[in-house]
Structures are given as structure tokens and as C-alpha cells.
Amino acid sequence: MSTPSPNILLIYTGGTIGMIKDFKTGALRAFDFKNLLKRIPELQLLDCKIDTISFETPIDSSNMNPEYWVQIAEIIETNYNLFDGFVVLHGSDTMSYTASALSFMLENLAKPVVFTGSQLPIGDLRTDAKENLITSIQVASMQYANKPIIKEVCLYFEYKLYRGNRTTKINAEHFEAFASLNYPDLAESGVHLKINKTYLFKPNLKKSLIVHKNLDTNIALVKLFPGITEVLLNNICNTPNLKGIILETYGAGNCTTEKWFINLLEKTIKNGIHIINITQCSGGSVIMGHYETSEQLIKAGVISGKDLTTEAAICKLMYMLGQNISSNVFKTIYETSLRGELS
């Protein structure tokens, strides 16, 4: 008896991948995804059924925000039992943020949600859109014993499949736009599609999908630099309704030991504002207490972001603040890996 072909839902939010060029004017416009199979006839060679759904008004990813994240999550929630996998087409600029956010919002996810996009429009002669799209759909439809092989939010770009909440956009020009510097690739596409099964996320399959839609954006991101002033930091720490600060420190989590700085952090934390320490470096981890310059942060009650990307640190903070977690366990939960986002 033949097994049924997987059903894949393609969700178009906007971005370069869904654009076609008007060759008379040179302007880019979004094309109708119902005509996808006409544009990319190769999709008919894939052993799956593809349905498409588009944002009513496709948006540039620079305009992406938590309200749109909720829209994507709701599309997946509504269609979760009807489809075996989901492919989200998204502009590359904020794709790592959205993929990170969705990983936290979709608790107990047991199906693939693959984000992809492109650097060139789908109609361009040298486009990277076709390969990214075809392989993303292929990844989303991979099964073993009628069950999806991938059970997490990931991001596929230029022959590599990454865990979504481990990615960062590193290049605005190259086709290889993303990197996952602190976690190995989940798969690589060459002559064969090679899955690194050891690194795949293993969710609790006995639990049902829970979709979290409450995200709190009352947070700040502060990148330290030599000469940062007390006035500036004081203003940020005293922002009305502020609930959390992501502090991008130097190297393995180091910062100035000037008295005013440490005092300000201590006072801010005592006021109930969570401060998370992550590194400015593209790769590597915060190791608090490794140097004397970060020992004082531990005493002040700063949370270690370990090897979180900035994108994942921000999205995890928004998600956790939306959960109304009590302050005495907040630090413990933040420093624990929930969706494979930290080592």
C-alpha cells in the first residue's frame, strides 16, 4: 500500500523571494502565489501536495513585528492538523528574528516550520529563490515511518538548513546570507540532502501544540562601547514600563567595572527589570565570572545569555515576559534551553 504524499502549506509573508520584475519599468512587485507551479514547474517533481496562503498585504521584512509573528503562528495553528509541514517565505533582513520568535511561540511543535527567502527575486535570471524554495519544501516533506523527520523551526538558505533560533544574517550581498556560529547545520544540500540527525531537536511528542501569542515588547537592547555615558544608560534604565534589557557586552561577557555602571545595574535589577548579558561577538558564549570584569555582574544578579544570538535573546525575553513568570524563577528559566536556543 502506497503512503500518501505529505501536505505542505506555503505561507508567503513578503520579501524578495515573492517578487517579479516588470521588465518594462524595472520595478519589483509581488506575484500571485496561486501561480507558483506555473512559475516553478520543478515543484511538480516533488512528492508532496502544496497549498499556498499569503498575507493579505505582503510586507517588507523591515516592517516585521510581533503582531505579524502572531499572524504566522495563527496560520500554523489553524492548519496544524491539515498539513505535515510548513514553509514560510520571508524577507531575509529580519528572518532570524521571526524564526527565533516562532520557535518560542510554538511549544511542543512536532512538525517542520521552515523559513526561507532569497537575495534575488524569483523571476531573475540568476535567482537563488528557486533552489531555496524547492529544497525548503523538500525538507518540510521529509518523513520516516509517516512522521516528519524535522520537528522544529528552522531556516534554509543557500544549501544549508539551520536551527532558526541559532541563526544571524551576516551578509547583505552574498547568497550565503546566514550563519549559525554556535550550533552545527541541521542539513546540507549537495548531490544528496544530508541530514545531521544528531543535531535535530527532539520535542516531547506526547504533548499537544501550545501557541503562545502574548509577547511583551517593553525591552531595550544596549550595545556597550568604550566611552558609553552614565546619562545615556540612566535614561534607558529609567524608560517608563521597561521590563528587560539585553546588554551586549565584550568578549566572554565582560564590561566596565566603573562604580557608576555596576551601581546602575544593581539599582535597575532591584527595580524588577531583568538584565541579560550576551556577547557582541558573532560566535562564542558569555562565561560570567571567567574574568574579574564579569564577576561583579553575577553579584548584581545579571542573567547569563550564554551563547544566545541577539535575535534569540530578544525573542526569548519578549516571550518570557509575556508569560508572567515570577521574578524568583525568571533567571533559572532564561538560562535554561527551551527550544535548543542555547548550549
Tell me the CA end-to-end span of the chain in Å, nearest whole number. 43
Q: Is the pLDDT of residue 1 over 60?
A: no
Looking at residue 39, what is its pLDDT? 74
Task: Note the pLDDT of residue 119.
Answer: 86
Does 136 have pLDDT greater than 90? yes
Mean predicted confidence (pLDDT) in 276-301 = 88
Give pLDDT, residue 15: 87
Catalytic residue among 16, 116, 167, 293: 16
Does the pLDDT at position 303 exceed 60?
yes
Mean pLDDT across 136-141: 96
pLDDT at position 233: 97
Cβ neighbours of 179 (radius 10 Å): 20
DSSP of 140-197: HT-EETTEES--SEEEEETTEEEEGGG-EE--SSSS--EE-TTS--SEEESSSEEE-G
Whether residue 260 contacts residue 268, with contact meaning beta carbons closer than 8 Å, is answered with no
For residue 312, CA distances in Å to 39, 109, 292, 334 come to: 34, 17, 27, 11
Asked whether the beta carbons of 151 and 142 are under 8 A apart, the reply is no
Residues in the chain: 343
- Between helix 310-321 and helix 327-334 the angle, nearest 10°, is 150
Give yes or no for residue 32 having a pLDDT over 80.
no
C-alpha span between 119 and 176 (Å, rounded): 9
Q: For residues 132 and 159, what is the distance between their CA atoms, to the nearest angstrom? A: 7
pLDDT of residue 37: 67
Known catalytic residue at 293? no
Question: Treating both helix axes as pointing N-terminal to C-terminal, what angle do 310-321 and 95-105 enclose, rounded to 10 degrees?
Answer: 40
Q: Is the pLDDT of residue 2 over 70?
A: no
Mean pLDDT taken over the chain: 92
Residue 44 banded pLDDT, cuts 50, 70, 90: confident
The per-residue DSSP string of 233-301 comes to HHHHHT-TT--EEEEEEBTTTB----HHHHHHHHHHHHTT-EEEEEESSSS----TTSSHHHHHHHHHT
Render pLDDT for 56-100 as a digit per residue (tens, 0 to 9). Answer: 888 989 999 999 999 999 999 999 999 999 999 999 999 999 999
* pLDDT value, residue 17: 84
Give dist(CA 343, CA 267) in Å, integer. Answer: 30
Cell numbers 505582503 correspond to what residue?
58
Output the pTM of the full model: 0.95
For the stretch 215-263, pLDDT in tens is 999 999 999 999 999 999 999 999 999 999 999 999 999 999 899 999 9
Q: 242 pairs with which residues across the strands?
A: none
| Bridging pattern class, strands 274-279 and 303-304 | parallel
